[in-house]
């Protein structure tokens, strides 16, 4: 079962406790939800924009709604889930700020993963070649990319600071999908990043 799971999704799955109530936003074919259902007995829900994705999900017996996270998250009540997951999707959102705020409103915490635009090879592409960066997780040409809101690890941290969002956990993945220690140079060295965030508690 783990074979079907993207490496970053497996890392995310390790952050989930047993029997948690999960919403996977942009759940694709439902591989992560299916894995969490079977290994963690999680209560799983999903939102997916593509009909083919929803088809794959319902075939697995998952409850998934065809919808657009830019707009449809507004319909979910506060604190309906223990964890809301947004993996490799934030960069394609029209309103990433609104989406992030919705995630931490709907869930007690949100797990957000994205390709780090501060990665040194991304910088190299632009600096040396003078061209839009491309790699395995950013495979598109400049004209056909759905990724309209790319950010670096540092950009995301600044966003959280400015919006009263607490970073509970921060993880870095290498190009091969292995976990790396986080340090001062993470923004330069991490290929992908995973953030666990929540609303900052008022003191």
Partner 1 sequence: MKSLIPIDKLQIKNSIKLDSGEYIDSCEVAFKTYGTLNKKKTNAILVCHALSGDQFCSDINPITKKQGWWNILIGPGKVIDTNIFFVICSNVLGGCMGSTGPSSINPQTKTNYGLKFPVITISDMVKVQEKLVSALGIKKLFAVIGGSMGGMQTLEWATKFSNKVNVAIPIATSYRHSAQNIAFHEIGRQAIMADPVWKKGNYYKTRKGPIGGLSVARMIAHITYLSELALQRKFGRNLQNSDFFSFNFDTDFQIESYLKHQGSSFVERFDANSYLYITKAMDYFDLSVKKGGLSKVFKNSNVNFCFFSFTSDWLFPTSETKTIIKSLNSSNAMVSFVEVKTDKGHDAFLLEEPEFHATLKGFIQGQIGKHEI
- Coil, strand or helix: which one is 151? coil
Strands 81-87 and 107-115: parallel
Instruction: Check binding of 67 to partner 1 (CB under 8 A).
Output: yes
59 forms part of the interface with partner 1 (CB under 8 A): yes
Percent of the chain as helix, strand, coil, to the nearest 5: 35, 25, 40
- CB-nearer residue toward partner 1: 85 or 122: 85
Binding of residue 60 to partner 1 (CB under 8 A): yes
- Min dist CB 43 to partner 1, Å, is 9
- Measured between alpha carbons, how far is 110 from 24 in angstroms, rounded to an integer? 10
Is residue 61 within the footprint of partner 1 (CB under 8 A)? yes
Identify the residue among 32, 56, 113, 117 touching partner 1 (CB under 8 A). Answer: 56
Whichever of 66 and 163 has its CB closer to partner 1, that residue is 66
Residue 15 has what DSSP assignment? T
Q: Largest Cα–Cα distance of the chain, in whole Å?
A: 49
Segment interacting with partner 1 (CB under 8 A) among 7-15, 51-59, 167-175, 176-184:
51-59
> Which is closer to partner 1, CB of 20 or CB of 56?
56
171 binds partner 1 (CB under 8 A): no
Q: How far apart are CA 198 and CA 86, in angstroms?
A: 13
Q: How far is the CB of 76 from partner 1 (least distance, A)?
A: 6
Are the C-beta atoms of residues 84 and 111 closer than 8 Å to each other? yes
Do residues 91 and 185 touch, judged by C-beta distance below 8 A? Answer: no
64 binds partner 1 (CB under 8 A): yes
From candidates 62, 103, 137, 190, binder to partner 1 by CB under 8 A: 62
Residue 25, beta-bridge partner list: 47
The Cα-based distances of 151 to 92, 96, 126, 165 in angstroms read: 11, 11, 15, 17
The residues that bridge with 85 in the sheet, in sequence order, are 24, 111
Please report how close the Cβ of residue 41 comes to partner 1 at its closest, in angstroms. 14
Site for partner 1 in 79-98 (CB under 8 A): 80
Q: Does the protein bind partner 1 through residue 138 (CB under 8 A)? A: no
The gap from C-alpha 168 to its chain's centroid, in whole angstroms, comes to 15
Cβ-based nearer residue to partner 1, 65 or 167: 65
| Residues at the interface with partner 1 (CB under 8 A) | 45, 51, 54-67, 75-77, 80
């Amino acid at each position: 079962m783990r074979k079907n799971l993207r490496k970053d999704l497996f890392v995310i799955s390790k952050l989930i406790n047993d029997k948690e109530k999960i919403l996977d936003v942009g759940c694709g074919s439902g591989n992560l939800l299916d894995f969490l259902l079977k290994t963690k007995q999680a209560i799983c829900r999903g939102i997916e924009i593509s009909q083919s994705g929803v088809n794959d999900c319902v075939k697995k017996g998952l409850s998934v709604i065809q919808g657009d996270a830019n707009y449809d998250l507004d319909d979910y009540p506060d604190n309906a889930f223990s964890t809301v997951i947004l993996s490799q999707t934030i960069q394609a959102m029209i309103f990433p700020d609104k989406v992030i705020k919705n995630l931490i409103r709907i869930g007690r915490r949100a797990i957000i993963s994205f390709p780090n635009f501060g990665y040194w090879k991304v910088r190299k592409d632009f600096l040396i070649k003078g061209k839009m960066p491309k790699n395995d997780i950013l495979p598109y040409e400049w004209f056909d990319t759905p990724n309209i809101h790319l950010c670096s690890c540092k950009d995301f941290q600044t966003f959280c600071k400015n919006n009263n969002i607490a970073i509970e956990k921060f993880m870095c993945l290498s190009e091969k999908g292995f976990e790396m220690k986080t340090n001062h140079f993470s923004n330069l060295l991490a290929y992908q990043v995973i953030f666990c965030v929540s609303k900052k508690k008022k003191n």
